[in-house]
């Protein structure tokens, strides 16, 4: 009899939680219904936050950044006021070492089961046991370009498939007048340049890194803008004809160009020499004021339909295996978003930079941008 009653109680609990799918409403009594999120710009679907707020009653303040360096400066200073932040994995790894994040309470994240175990295992190399972070989306760094402009300048038969277009000064010189954007971050640009030059993209050797610096100095006169988010609109409205940027951003530029219907066509390629692949990770700062709400939010993002909606909108790849059935076929079949097995062979992850290399990268970048 006792067992039967227990059985009924368990059934009632299961039914109650079914209505609520993954316990999204389980806010803690002591926590105010507020959540502060700091994410990359152009990285969420239009309805995601409103839907989350409606379902949970948790009010989200959502701020954006466009570089790991900016986020890291805030995190190491502490007291960011944020409950969820989204660094890239290699930055997260050293932030974990610095004690910036709290370990996740996985009992509050049942939707972790939706993640691709292979990608999880890879991530665990830098975040042991996936203890502090959950993948948001992933992508590659490559070349965005204006299809017509490149044909006008290099001829109809020119095939854009190589970093030669942007890392060879002779080619870049021809593009200056139509607008050249590079990501504004040494950690994004130095490794692909080294790889293009035939060097280890993750070398910590000063003499090797100097080769990238020398090449960037040759390229510098033809780079019209360093920026890590403006290139989306610049490509879309024809102000830039080429950008070294991130996969999804460039596909968003292609969509915006198409919507504007002003004759601009934008495309993205993963250069044949290989390039960087990266994973952006949700994590909770140790001093977060609303850690329970942060877990509710992360678990919400991990729902297959929520993850797919974001991925479909921003055109970045999802590590949420359960969401793949809901990803637009056009996106799944796009080798710029989900690289082919062959292209995957050329992809490299970025290294976790030791402080002295980090300082060297920053010196190179300042001198490149200021010309001193
Ligand atoms: N607009 C969203 C861009 C997200 C880019 N994350 C980049 C990480 C590169 N290491």
Q: Model confidence at 30, in pLDDT bands (50, 70, 90)?
A: confident
Please give the pLDDT value at position 26. Answer: 61
Name the class of domain 34-138+278-338. alpha beta
Mind listing the pLDDT tens digit for each residue in 56-115? Answer: 999 999 999 999 999 999 999 989 999 999 999 999 999 999 999 999 999 999 999 999
* Percent of the chain whose pLDDT exceeds 70: 92
**253 CA from centroid of ligand 1 (Å):** 14
Which of the two residues, 21 and 16, has the higher pLDDT score? 21
Sign of CA dihedral 139, 143, 146, 151: negative
Same topology for domains 34-138+278-338 and 139-277+343-370, yes or no?
yes
Tell whether the model's pLDDT for residue 161 goes beyond 80: yes
Average model confidence (pLDDT) across the chain: 93
Mind listing the pLDDT tens digit for each residue in 291-315? Answer: 999 999 999 999 999 999 999 999 9
Please give the pLDDT value at position 372. Answer: 74
Tell whether the model's pLDDT for residue 227 goes beyond 80: yes
**40 CA from centroid of ligand 1 (Å):** 7
* Nearest atom of ligand 1 to the alpha carbon of 90: 10
**141 CA from centroid of ligand 1 (Å):** 9
Tell whether the model's pLDDT for residue 207 goes beyond 50: yes
Please give the pLDDT value at position 28. Answer: 65
Shortest-distance Cα residue to atom 4 of ligand 1? 40
**5 CA from centroid of ligand 1 (Å):** 52
| Ligand 1 surroundings by CB, under 6 angstroms | 40-43, 88, 188, 246, 249, 278, 280
Which of the two residues, 216 and 30, has the higher pLDDT score? 216
Shortest-distance Cα residue to atom 6 of ligand 1? 280
Average pLDDT of the segment spanning 174-186: 97
Instruction: Report domain extents, the chain.
Output: 34-138+278-338, 139-277+343-370
Average pLDDT of the segment spanning 31-47: 97
**339 CA from centroid of ligand 1 (Å):** 16
Name the class of domain 139-277+343-370. alpha beta
Tell whether the model's pLDDT for residue 2 goes beyond 90: no
Please give the pLDDT value at position 29. Answer: 62
Please give the pLDDT value at position 12. Answer: 33
Q: Model confidence at 25, in pLDDT bands (50, 70, 90)?
A: low
Please give the pLDDT value at position 67. Answer: 95
- Ligand 1: which of 88, 234, 281 to mutate, most ligand atoms within 8 Å of CB? 88
Please give the pLDDT value at position 22. Answer: 61
Tell whether the model's pLDDT for residue 148 goes beyond 70: yes
């Amino acid at each position: 009899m006792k067992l039967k009653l227990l059985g009924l109680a368990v059934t009632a609990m299961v039914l109650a939680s079914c209505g609520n799918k993954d316990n999204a409403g389980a806010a803690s009594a002591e926590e105010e219904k507020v959540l502060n999120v700091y994410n990359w710009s152009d990285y969420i679907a239009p309805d995601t936050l409103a839907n989350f707020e409606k379902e949970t009653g948790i009010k989200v303040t959502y701020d954006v950044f466009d570089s790991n360096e900016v986020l890291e400066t805030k995190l190491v200073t502490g007291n960011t006021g944020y409950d969820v932040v989204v660094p890239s994995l290699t930055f997260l790894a050293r932030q974990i070492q610095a004690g910036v994040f709290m370990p996740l309470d996985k009992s509050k994240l049942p939707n972790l089961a939706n993640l691709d175990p292979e990608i999880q295992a890879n991530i665990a190399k830098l975040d042991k046991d996936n203890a502090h972070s959950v993948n948001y989306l992933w992508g590659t760094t490559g070349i965005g370009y204006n299809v017509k402009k490149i044909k006008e300048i290099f001829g109809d038969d020119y095939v854009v498939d190589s970093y030669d277009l942007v890392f060879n000064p002779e080619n870049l010189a021809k593009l200056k007048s139509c607008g050249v954007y590079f990501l504004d971050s040494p950690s994004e640009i130095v490794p692909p340049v080294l790889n293009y030059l035939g060097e280890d993209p993750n070398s910590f050797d000063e003499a090797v890194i100097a080769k990238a610096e020398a090449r960037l100095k040759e390229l510098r006169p033809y780079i019209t803008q360093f920026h890590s988010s403006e290139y989306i609109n610049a490509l879309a409205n024809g102000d830039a004809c080429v950008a070294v940027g991130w996969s999804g951003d460039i596909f968003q530029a292609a969509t915006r160009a198409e919507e504007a219907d002003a004759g601009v066509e934008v495309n993205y390629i993963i250069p044949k020499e290989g390039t960087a692949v990266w994973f952006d990770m949700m994590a909770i700062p140790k001093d977060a004021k609303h850690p329970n709400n942060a877990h509710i939010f992360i678990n919400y993002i991990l729902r297959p339909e929520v993850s797919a909606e974001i991925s479909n909108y921003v055109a970045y790849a999802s590590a949420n295996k359960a969401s793949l059935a809901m990803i637009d076929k056009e996106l799944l079949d796009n080798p710029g978003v989900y690289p082919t097995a062959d292209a995957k062979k050329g992809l490299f992850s970025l290294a976790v930079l030791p402080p002295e290399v980090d300082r060297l990268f920053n010196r190179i970048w300042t001198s490149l941008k200021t010309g001193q």
